[in-house]
Chain A
Amino acid sequence: MLRIENLHVSIDGRLVLRGVDLEIGDGETHVLFGPNGSGKTSLVMSILGYPGYRVLSGRISFDGVDITDKPMDERVRMGIGVVFQNPPKIYGIRLKDLIKIISKSKMSGAEISGLMDRLNINSSLLNRYLNVGFSGGEIKRSEIAQVLTMKPKFVILDEPDSGVDLDNLQLIGRELAENLKDRSGLIITHHGYILNYVKPVKAHVMVNGVIVCNGEPETILNRIKESGYRWCERCYEMRRSERL
């Protein structure tokens, strides 16, 4: 589904990804861990082709097609959907307007209302301007609703469990688990709460713009929980010295 090789990316002249390798097979969901500022969001944006993220070297292929130089709109059309960590506020555009536009020919009215019900998105939230005054949980639920309405082949979730209370987490977790059954995905999580619901097949840890280790999600999460990312930083040093 997704294959990233030796990807180097800069933003505003600053190197943020320094040789990322990642491969996610068809129908697989992976999880990506990493300390703040390690480059997780930058990786998401680079996969999506978000303007401003400049690929210096390396390549990204999706569904067997090299998309390294393809514009964002094309990648979206190919089936990449992203739940953003920090979506912008847009005055004047209501959540329901956008859902309606996204759903065009992709989802029936009944399907949409089912999804909204499951994500506890009521008409008052639907009638509000996008992300204007939304609570943390509301932002995540609105993001997930939009992206699931797109019916993407590949879903990237950038910290879907940050700033979300337990009730919202359960709602989101169940819906994601259901929807990731028949698609591929990449979930970024800081604390790993979402892993109580979604069971990825593989975990990766990013430190300083590179993926320093891969492995079994439970094992890696437990190690991070025990000793934090210091342990990963050692791996980073090791990898670096190997390369040099």
Chain B
Amino acid sequence: MLRDEEIRKALEKPAKYGVDLDLSRYEFGEAEEFTEIDRDVSKRGMEVGVDLDKKESLSTFLHVDYSTVYKSVQRQFKGDLELMTIDEALKKYDWVRDLFWKLRDPCEDKYTAFTALNAKGGYFMRILENRKILIPIQACFLLFTQGIIQPVHNLIIAEPGSEVHILTGCTIHPRVTRGLHLGVTEIYVRRGAKLTYTMVHRWGPEFDVRSRTGILVEDRGIFISNYVMLGELRTFQSQPSARLIGSYSRTSMNNVVYLKGNSEMDLGGEVLLEGDGSRAEIILNSVAEDDAKITTRGRILGLANDVKGHLSCRGLMLSDRAEITTIPILESKNMNSELSHEAAIGKIAEDQLNYLVARGLSRDEAESLIVRGFLDVSKMQLPKPVEEGVRRTIELALKGF
């Protein structure tokens, strides 16, 4: 097939942003046998917001290395939600093919190309028309075998009028140090649907991650994405891109990153306001410690009437050796669009510290409160148990795991 050849060519193509990786440095093909969800795995699950011990009582999807280990839909939501592997979905519905690789291009770079040619699994979630699922659906991707590439491709469809919260935790087994996670996710938010997509990541100091997320939002649809990354990794790059084609559609992308060690992260968010009256808010909050390097890129394009977009990039430097770069871009192609951004990078502000000390906090308490403020997740409107889980993980990360 001509297309395959074109994709194969793209295997050599570096990504637009981020450190270029040599894919031949990783293993691909064989995985060790994964036998059970032991204490280590369930602890890691908890750290990324997924409760694998209670998987029977929740809607859960667990993918380890190359295969799906577990999937189930809570009884009360059967008939509201379809949850299967992407391969099952491609077999079951002809139309799935029409939604596949439509929101990201397989030839975009070597990572999409590799995933297009080699993806092993991923989830398919479809929330049926007008159904509202009140308890988050949990998905967990775990890398168990040392040194491998894990390419997955997920597809989410929130049918018209539906409402759901999907929580995806991605992590590695504590014994794993090296490896590469490639995640392609395509998300369709149909007319009047509301999808909250929360992702919590926890990796290791030698681990690499490239995710490619594409989102399409129709009339009055709402897409909320929350991203939390804590701790260390080797390199990371991702720039989720949302097209708000529907009129009065909305999106809000909240990112909270706390990076330590020698980690290098390039995290972005892009929204195309194509529908009249559509709205976007992108928040990129980052804290850099040790030698961590963080680049945050926000981009909002106003292409229709009466659209509004706001971009906020805030960076907190906790070390002299850390680096934070922030690149906000606003582009307007319509007179009636209103776009704004705010950006600030710096160390902990003395006047804020002194203010808190004047209220009776110790300097250490004041510092830690300000850092936690940068990592505030309460804007994400997470369900209580999820928010508490994420807060616990933040506490752990700040104490050095």
Name the residue on B nearest A101 (C-beta): B361
Residues of B near any A CB (own CB < 8 A): 285, 314, 349-352, 354-363, 365, 369-370, 372-376, 378
A3 contacts chain B at the CB level, 8 A cutoff: no
A73 and B369 within 8 A (CB) = no
Report whether B363 and A73 are in contact in the complex, using a CB–CB cutoff of 8 Å: yes
Whether B369 pairs with A146 at a CB distance below 8 angstroms is no
Roughly how many angstroms separate A50 CA and B372 CA in the complex, as a whole number?
24
Chain B residues with Cβ below 8 Å from A147 are 359
**The residue from B355, B361, B370, B375 contacting A87, defined by CB atoms under 8 A apart:** B355
Q: How large is the interface on A (under 10, 10 to 19, 20 to 34, 35 or more residues)?
A: 20 to 34
B81 to chain A, nearest CB (A): 32
Q: Is A26 an interface residue (CB 8 A)?
A: no
When the two chains form their complex, are residues A76 and B358 in contact, meaning their CB atoms are under 8 A apart?
Answer: yes
**Segment at the B interface, from A62-70, A91-99, A114-122:** A91-99
Are the CB atoms of B373 and A91 closer together than 8 Å? Answer: yes
Q: Is the pair A150, B359 in contact by a Cβ cutoff of 8 Å?
A: yes
Cβ-defined contact, B369 with A102, below 8 A: no
Instruction: Look across to chain A and name the residue whose beta carbon is closest to the beta carbon of B351.
Output: A88
Indicate if the CB atoms of B360 and A91 lie closer than 8 Å. Answer: no
Which 6 A-B pairs have CB atoms at the shortest separation, nearest pair first?
Answer: A92-B373, A92-B376, A93-B373, A88-B351, A90-B352, A88-B352
* Assembly CA distance A48 to B359 (angstroms): 11
B356 and A50 contacting across the interface, CB-CB below 8 Å? no
Closest A residue to B344 using CB positions? A91
Contact B356 A98 (CB under 8 A): yes
Known: A92-B370, A129-B373, A147-B359. 11 other contacts (CB 8 A): A72-B358, A73-B363, A88-B349, A88-B351, A90-B370, A90-B373, A92-B285, A93-B369, A98-B369, A101-B369, A102-B360
Kindly report which residue of chain B lies nearest to residue A98, judged by CB atoms.
Answer: B359
Verify if A239 is at the interface (C-beta below 8 Å from B): no
Q: Please determine whether B359 and A72 come into contact, CB atoms closer than 8 angstroms.
A: no
Contacts between chains A and B (CB distance < 8 A), count:
59
Contacts A92-B373, A93-B369, A93-B373: A102 and B352 contacting too (C-beta < 8 A)? no
Q: Which residues of B contact A97 (CB under 8 A)?
A: 369
Bound: A51/B357 CA distance, A = 11
B362's contact among A73, A88, A91, A93, by CB below 8 Å, is which? A73
A84 touches B360 (CB 8 A): no
Contact A48 to B378, CB < 8 A, known contacts A73-B363, A88-B352: no
Asked whether, in the complex, the Cβ of B369 is within 8 Å of the Cβ of A76, the reply is no
> In the bound complex, what is the Cα–Cα distance between A27 and B285 (angstroms)?
47
B355 adjacent to A88 (CB under 8 Å): yes
Q: List 20 A-B contacts (CB under 8 A).
A: A50-B354, A50-B358, A51-B354, A73-B363, A77-B360, A84-B358, A88-B349, A88-B351, A90-B355, A90-B356, A90-B370, A91-B373, A92-B375, A93-B369, A98-B356, A98-B369, A102-B359, A129-B373, A146-B359, A147-B359
Chain B contacts for A150, CB-based, 8 A = 359-360
Bound-state Cα–Cα, A225 to B54, Å: 72
A-side contacts of B370, CB under 8 Å: 90, 92-93
- Assembly CA distance A50 to B351 (angstroms): 10
Q: Choose from B350, B362, B372 the contact partner of A92 (Cβ within 8 Å).
A: B372
Return the chain B residue nearest A48 by Cβ.
B358
Q: Shortest CB–CB separation between residue A43 and chain B, in angstroms?
A: 15
- List the A side residues contacting B351 at CB < 8 Å: 88
Task: Please name all residues of chain B whose beta carbon is closer than 8 Å to the beta carbon of A87 when the two chains form the complex.
Answer: 355
State whether A76 touches B378 (Cβ < 8 A). Answer: no
Chain A stretch 144-183: residues in CB contact (< 8 A) with chain B: 146-147, 150
Q: Which of B355, B362, B375 has the most CB of A within 10 A?
A: B355
A31 on the B face (CB < 8 A): no
* 0/1 interface trace, chain A 7-36, chain B, CB 8 Å (1 if under): 000000000000000000000000000000
Q: How far is the CB of A190 from chain B (nearest CB, A)?
A: 22
Q: Which of A72-89 contact B (CB under 8 A)?
A: 72-73, 76-77, 82, 84, 87-88
Could you tell me the distance in whole angstroms from the C-beta of B343 to the nearest C-beta in chain A? 12
